[in-house]
Amino acid sequence: MEEDLKVFMSKTISDLENNIHYKEDLKYIKIKLVDILNKYNKKISKLNEEINNLRKEVNHNTKIDISCPYCNKKIWIENNVNVNEVTCPKCFNLIEIGWKY
């Protein structure tokens, strides 16, 4: 749980304890609060998961792999049409990149 949310919750609970004098009511309210928190936490972790997936997708799309026509080494290059050539790190030949779009 996030720190400011924790502080907020403990403040809220002590406030409730000071102002609600029927123990049964207090218990019920606490149960409801925990329920709300759990839903909130689930939503947050689901959002985090989606963000991570998007990040992976973006990383995947920014790099592509080609094979050196001279030595066949796999080389990762930026997915950028402005990059027209790359030097093979293995055989040091200059490879021209022909973008198909």
Q: Which is nearer to Zn ion, 8 or 92 (CB)?
A: 92
Q: Which is nearer to Zn ion, 34 or 89 (CB)?
A: 89
Nearest partner of 99 among 81, 86, 87, 78, judged by Cα: 81
Q: Which is nearer to Zn ion, 29 or 75 (CB)?
A: 75
Q: Amino acid identity, residue 7?
A: V
Q: Kindly compute the dihedral angle of the four CA atoms of residues 60, 61, 67, 73, in this order, to the nearest 10 degrees.
A: -30
Give the nearest distance from C-beta 97 to Zn ion in angstroms.
13
Nearest partner of 80 among 67, 94, 66, judged by Cα: 66
Give the nearest distance from C-beta 99 to Zn ion in angstroms.
20
Give the nearest distance from C-beta 70 to Zn ion in angstroms.
4
Q: Which chain residues interact with Zn ion by CB under 5 A?
A: 68, 70-71, 73, 88, 90-91
